[in-house]
Amino acid sequence: MSALVESWIVTGNDPDGDFPLNNLPYGVFSRKDERPRCCTIVGETIIDLAALEELGYFDLPQPGVFSQPSLNAFMALGSPAQTHVRDRLTDLLRVDNSLKLKDLPAHQKRVLFDVYSVRLHMPFAVSGFTDFYASKHHATNVGTMFRGAENALPPNWLHMPIGYNGRASTVVVSDTPVTRPKGQLKAQDADAPHFGASRRLDFELEMGAVVGASTAMGDSVSVAQAGDMIFGYVLLNDWSARDIQAWEYQPLGPFQGKAFATSIAPWVITRAALAPFRVAAPPRDVPLLPYLQESGPMGYDIELSVELKPRDSQVGTIICRSNTKHLCYSAAQQLAHHASSGCAMRVGDLLGSGTISGPERGAWGSLLELAWGGKEPITLDDGSKRTFLEDGDMLTLRGFAQGEGYRIGFGSCSGTVVPARE
């Protein structure tokens, strides 16, 4: 496994920091009333990619891609351009650099900014959002609750990535408040439903894959091709209204119980940064059809956590620690399956992994599991209890892949529940 690449931006050399020079994630930022534009980050320093491009540090086939308020145009340039930018940034920012940004204060003034002085935006324009169901532990837990242990997994789950088409319009960047949704609710002992605010609001700990290439309608792709199409990954919280979902989901699956909000982190972590952390999927009960088979490890070893902080509390509680290595289907398999029917994929498509749960209770990635359908409340560090989320609760997802003396961090993905609107 590779070691830390030291930078002359000293905060990037913190072994416990999210953003060493090995990482170089992509995002979008602005300062005061300036227009949003593309950036990366090392340590606690934002690097303005639009300014670097204007100063002539990159040689790209299409000018001005970093001056745009999303990463989509850059993603569409493909792997050669992305490799060029990553290599050039590494040369510019490493401690033994061969390029002279380190010695040009006038350029630094245009390019480098303290992360606490800027605003981070949605990193890309979401073309479409599809949510999957790739954790066997999560699928088994939920199936056991609703169908019993003997029928926990639906028969198709072992053969293909299960998913549904969600809403791109309500994918929002971290720190955007999440309004408690309203919808039809029906108690088990009621004769008819009523309309009201969800009382069983939940989070889902997920990893989002960002698609960086398009396919034509009617075309399909192999798993290997799908892997190359993925630009990078983001932390993702697919908020869920379990009571709305329970009444609506048969026969066509999730709808309003999922459509109201999906939060993502502001940083897209690239495949290049995560390459040292590849792992194989867990052992399978049955072999997959040839179009879904992988030629090698395509999952990742990424440590994940979820913190819940109640309103007015000074204490947050880590309620879940999980890992993406528990996912039984990789993002490449999900994308290959998505396109297998001839469904056209677009630059900016977002694929949610589905809830990432591990084998132990502390690794379960939703309150539905942690509180076992509301029957077993969890106790937070401030003494309060939760079965589902209350107004004012703030959820924060974090993740990192651990290297030798460094980590590839994902930043954080936060959202605070605000009351339903009248």
CA-CA distance, 181 to 247, in Å (whole number)?
14
CA-CA distance, 381 to 223, in Å (whole number)?
44
Render the burial of 138-149: b for 16+ CB within 10 Å, e for the rest.
bbbbbbbeeeee
SS3 143: helix
Residue type, 40: T
10 Å CB burial of residue 21 (0-12, 13-18, 19+) is buried
Please say whether the beta carbons of 410 and 234 come within 8 A: yes
**Partners of 396 in the β-ladder:** 307, 414
The structure tokens 């651990």 sit at 402
> Per DSSP, which regions of 115-200 are E strands?
119-120, 129-132, 163-165, 171-173, 178-179, 182-185, 194-197
10 Å CB burial of residue 395 (0-12, 13-18, 19+) is buried
- For 64: left if phi > 0, alpha if psi spans -120 to 50, otherwise beta; the answer is left
138 is catalytic: yes
SS3 230: strand
DSSP string, 233-300: EEEEEE-EEHHHHHHH-TTT--SHHHHT-EEE-S-BEEHHHHGGGEEPPPPPSSPPPGGG--SS--EE
Q: Which residues contact 134 (CB under 8 A, 6 or more apart)?
A: 161, 327, 328, 329, 334, 353, 354
Residue among 137, 138, 337, 338 flagged as catalytic? 138
- φ, ψ dihedrals at 239, nearest 5°: -55, 145
Residue 251: is the preceding peptide bond cis (ω within 30°)? yes
**Cα 211 from chain centre:** 12
Strands 45-48 and 112-114: antiparallel
Q: Which residues contact 273 (CB under 8 A, 6 or more apart)?
A: 22, 23, 24, 25, 232, 408
Q: Catalytic amino acids?
A: 138
